[in-house]
Structure 1
Amino acid sequence: MNPQIRNQIKALAIYQLAGGILGIALTIWVMFAGELVLSQEVLRFGIFAVGLYVFSILCGRMLFRKPKLGLKLSLVNQVLQVIYFSFGSYAFQYVAGLRIGIGMDMVEGWIFKFRLALSSFHFSLGTDLDQKFIGINLVALFLIFWMERLLEKLDS
């Protein structure tokens, strides 16, 4: 593996590790800051979020150990982050790292939105939030294309 590819994989690994660690820290901080009532549902969603962030950390570690497998796992991790949405009682948003998102808010017409976020998580099932939006994480999309290029270079 040439040094340029090795450095790019190292940068991706650091990004995955940092996003996962930051996500876990923010999840724990939000859960125990005192503003949430710690119900079973909140704890379940918190464990689900931490599980996704641990997956991001594992992807980063795997990039250091087995780059090809790490890139494949990291692709899965980024695919989970590309689309975020909220419609009625269903919502999903997962970011391990950075999100630069563009999307449409459809509550009061079709409003174009630009959103920035660091590691964040939101999951809703059965709770009507009176929100209707869909967005695309441009950072995750860029990383997917980048990782696919790196996989092609590793195969050749």
Structure 2
Amino acid sequence: MAELTVEDLRRGLPGRWRLEKRVEDRLLGADMAFVGEVEFCEAADGLVYRESGEWRDAPWGPLAGERVYRWRMERGFVDVRYADGSAFHAFEPALAAEAEHLCGQDRYRGLYRFDLPEAWSLTWHVTGPHKDYSAAALLSRPV
């Protein structure tokens, strides 16, 4: 696949994905893991992303976690929104797509890599006065 389009994502992402995430938090001095699953469901304006799992190797011990995002797909872009509809970030589909988000004075720089239909990944590098961490998520189809 030479290029990637919004329609490729709409066709290739729905369903369940195994999630393995590593987080290196330089402020806490901790290297943590989050293991779980992601399910993409179709919606009128794109996809709904539902993540659930458990933190492991974290300073606070095992802890369940979940989140929901809406991936609105229009005009050739993916507009990622929080569950409440507020803006998170947007990206133009590509085999390697960059994203950015400002949270107060903290800056999130993200990189999506798509190898559909088998796998995709998302890496965030977060820096600023309140946050300093890297998070690398690998998503693969369940066996």
Q: What is the TM-score with the length of structure 2 in the denominator?
A: 0.30
The structure richer in helix per residue is: 1
Q: What is the TM-score with the length of structure 1 in the denominator?
A: 0.28
Structure scoring higher RCO (CA < 8 A, sep ≥ 6) equals 1
